Amino acid sequence: MSDLFWRGVACALARYPRLLNRLLQVAYRNPYFHLPGYMERWWLLPAPPKEDEAHDYPGALPRLTRLANRLGVAARFHRILRADQGRHGHSHPWPFRTLILQGWYIEEIYNRTGELVGERRLRAGMTAYKTPDEFHRIRAISPGGVLTLVIHGKPTGKGWFFNRGGELIPWRVYLGLERKS
């Protein structure tokens, strides 16, 4: 879908708090694991469980979730509480579109060699699209945080990486949660 369409959706949600609050009420019944002090997350349209997972989201919209899952789409709200702490850009394992609903953030954009190539400020009513091959970093956020709606596709199998000078480091290794093999 076009950027113009998604910008219209972002603007509508940013300008109509009753609609946004209704969607948030649905999502608040379906928390995804929060990242304490960094980001709070709630499913609006939960992703299908992986083969080794069993999860149930009783507050989800069942028919809409089944349709979204068939289409390979999931959506969740993110409340970003602080900027990224890592010094390097990171990728995501799926293509995604983010709609900024409240607040703003400054995003740094990196190329495949890990070089900073741009920066932009995204405000409420704006939207951005990323592929799994793109790297970014949130450098600064508005006081009080940022609320976004992230709509993502199926994982591509590429994983989640940080880019340090062109070296792709798995996120768990980068964050010191496991050793590099």
Instruction: Classify residue 74: in a domain, yes or no.
Output: yes
- Assess contact for 68 and 45: CB atoms under 8 A: yes
> According to DSSP H, which parts of the chain are helical?
3-15, 17-28, 62-71, 171-174
- Assess contact for 116 and 109: CB atoms under 8 A: yes
CATH number of the domain where residue 166 is located: 2.60.120.10
Instruction: Classify residue 54: in a domain, yes or no.
Output: no
Residue 133: C-alpha distances to residues 46, 82, 130, 165 (Å): 23, 24, 8, 15
64-84: b or e for each residue (b if 16 or more CB lie within 10 Å)?
A: ebeebbeeebbbbbbbbbebb
The average confidence (pLDDT) of the chain is 90
Instruction: Classify residue 108: in a domain, yes or no.
Output: yes
Among 100, 77, 95, 80, smallest CA distance to 35 is for: 80
Q: pLDDT below 70 — which residues of the chain?
A: 1, 49-60, 180-181
Q: pLDDT value at position 48?
A: 76
144: amino acid identity, one letter: G
What is the reported pTM?
0.90
Instruction: Classify residue 180: in a domain, yes or no.
Output: no
Instruction: Classify residue 55: in a domain, yes or no.
Output: no
Residue-number span of the structural domain to which 166 is assigned: 3-49+60-174
- Assess contact for 176 and 167: CB atoms under 8 A: no
75: amino acid identity, one letter: A
Give how many domains the chain has, as a whole number.
Answer: 1
Q: pLDDT value at position 58?
A: 62
Instruction: Classify residue 22: in a domain, yes or no.
Output: yes
- What is the distance between the alpha carbons of residues 105 and 138, in angstroms, rounded to a whole number? 7
Residues 65-111: tens digit of each pLDDT:
888 888 889 999 999 999 999 899 999 999 999 999 999 999 999 99
Antiparallel, parallel or unpaired: β 89-90 and 74-80: unpaired
Residue 85 is given by DSSP the state -
Token look-up 């290794």 returns 173
Instruction: Classify residue 179: in a domain, yes or no.
Output: no
Instruction: Classify residue 181: in a domain, yes or no.
Output: no
